[in-house]
Structure 1
Amino acid sequence: MASKRSYGDGCGIARALDLVGERWGLLVVRELVLGPKRFTGLHAGLPGVSPNVLAQRLRELEAAGVLRRRTLGPPAGARVYELTEWGRELEPLLIGLGRWGGRSPEPTADPYRSADSLMLWLCSRFVPAPGGMPGAAAGEGLVAVFGVRSGDDRFAVRVGGGRLTVERGVPERPDATLAGDLGTLTDVLKGRRPIAEAAQSGELAVGGDVTALRRLVDLLITSRPATAQAAVLA
């Protein structure tokens, strides 16, 4: 096996890229930011990577101390991968990178490949107002817990105090729930398709406080940042 390449530069940025900059490396981290996953779940979220390359990236990230393997307790007993404390420090960097990349002047028609990436998009769009105080882009007083399901992926989305957080799992008492395939959820959460129309077609299952869901979508739409090109022209 060829030795891993290095920039040979003492700069912290270069060192970080030595550790997580290999192709697929940061996307592996993306898939683990919201909670542990088994190998099959990781591969499902990264369909463009071969199992051999994914296994290699996991070994490299484990050796670097970014992630670790763990066996879940009974009755599951499954082996999962999870980020270490140090690895979890990459979360705000990934969200910031997603926010920056989302402002690209070149639009993309590429679909989301994993539900985790869509959930992290929520985090990147829900930007606190200046000074950390709740504002229009930070929630306008919305306080709610949402349960989101896409296939086998389940998430708890919590909004309150000008913050939005997401974690893998099922919330105990959600105010509202929505479930559908990844394409439908993407279209609904990005405001491309009305909640009622998707629900009426049977492609989206909705429960609980639909008004709170609409408020969340409205906030995500109105907080859309200007593209980099527009910012330059301004």
Structure 2
Amino acid sequence: MRSYGQYCSVAKALDVVGDRWTLLIVRELLARGPSRYTDVRSGLPGIATNLLADRLREMEAAGLVAREDAPPPVATTLFRLTDRGAALGGVIFELGRWGVPLMADYQPDDAFRGQWLRLPVRVFLADHEPDQAPSSIQVCAGDQTVVIDVDAGQVSLRLGADPDADAVISGPPPRILALFSGNLSLADAEGQGMQVTGSRKVIQRVLPRAGAPIDQQTPPR
């Protein structure tokens, strides 16, 4: 790993995390938790397997990543963030929020993974009716499916599907992001081809309200 050779905390930090793919590996482990090598790689389309192995070794040496054995009956090695690595969550959050305006540049061949919606969910969505019963929204963005859970003022995202979800939203990733960011109303999204089934009230419960500043959101801990 090359060093900038500067006595500055920014330069020192970039000596550790400035290499290509490193912060995206952090993103994946923040989104997934402890993960198999194959799961990390599936969330990083375009990375060469030898480069991923090199990056994980470097991050382990830097104290950002640790290996652990998966509990029985799964016999495999899991990679997880250490406390030091998890502390980069705020960096990922702020970098992702800074990059939101760049999402207007969408190319049809851009790769997408469902766990990448975790950041938009944190940035834009909120439980505006915390006294209501818990609810869930299944989101089908392209060929990826995730579930948004809403409960007592908290909004979270989990991977997979939920056959008992209160509502289902289906559409291309850019349309989903436009809806979540408040740049597209639910009615307009449906008018542009997004498919919505189930309770629209549950969906409206979490969508941005007019005039709600994003700056009030806090980074994940």
User: Given the two structures, how large is their TM-score scaled by the length of structure 2?
Assistant: 0.70
**Structure 2 residue aligned with 1:23, among 7, 20, 25?**
20
Whole-Å separation in 2 of the counterparts to 1:92 and 1:164: 18
Following superposition, the deviation at residue 65 of structure 1 comes to: 1.0
User: Does the C-alpha gap of structure 1 residues 174 and 92 become closer, same or farther in structure 2, counting only changes over 3 Å?
Assistant: farther
Q: Distance between the aligned counterparts of 2:135 and 2:34, measured in 1? A: 21
Aligned to 2:124: 125
Counterpart-to-counterpart distance in 1, 2:210 and 2:177: 8
Q: Does 1:184 align with 2:147?
A: no
Question: Within 1, Cα distance between the matches of 2:144 and 2:76?
Answer: 16
Match of 2:201 in 1: 211
SS of equivalent residue, structure 2 residue 106 = coil
Could you tell me whether the CA contact under 8 Å between 2:36 and 2:79 is conserved in 1? yes
Q: Distance in 2 between matches of 1:215 and 1:52?
A: 45
Q: Which runs of 5+ in 1 are unaligned?
A: 127-137, 201-205, 227-234
Q: Which runs of 5+ in 2 are unaligned?
A: 216-221
**How many Å separate the matches in 1 of 2:209 and 2:72?**
39
3-state DSSP of counterpart to 1:103: helix
1:221 and 1:122 map into 2 onto residues whose CA distance is 17
Q: Which residue number in structure 1 is paired with residue 219 of structure 2?
A: none
Paired with 2:104 and 2:143, the residues of 1 have a C-alpha distance of 29
Q: Secondary structure at the match of 2:78?
A: strand
Alpha-carbon offset, residue 51 of structure 1: 1.0
RMSD: 3.7
Structure 1 residues 69 and 100 mapped into 2: Cα distance closer, same or farther (>3 Å)? same
Query: Which amino acid in structure 2 is aligned with residue 219 of structure 1?
Result: P
CA contact (8 A) 1:146 1:176 kept: yes
- After superposition, where does 1:59-98 map in structure 2 within 5 Å? 59-98=57-96
Which letter maps to 2:155? L
Identity of aligned residues (%): 31
Paired residues of 2:129 and 2:205 also in contact (CA < 8 A) = no
Q: 1:21 to 1:108 in 2, by over 3 A?
A: same
- What's the CA shift string for 1:15-67, capped at 9, x where partnerless? 22111110010001001102122222222211121111111111111111111
Give the Cα separation in 2 of the matches to 1:66 and 1:20.
9
Separation of aligned partners in 2, 1:154 and 1:82: 23
Q: Which 4+ stretches in 1 moved above 4 angstroms?
A: 147-156, 160-163, 167-171, 177-180, 197-200, 220-226
TM-score (norm 1): 0.67
Larger deviation, residues 17-26 vs 113-122: 113-122
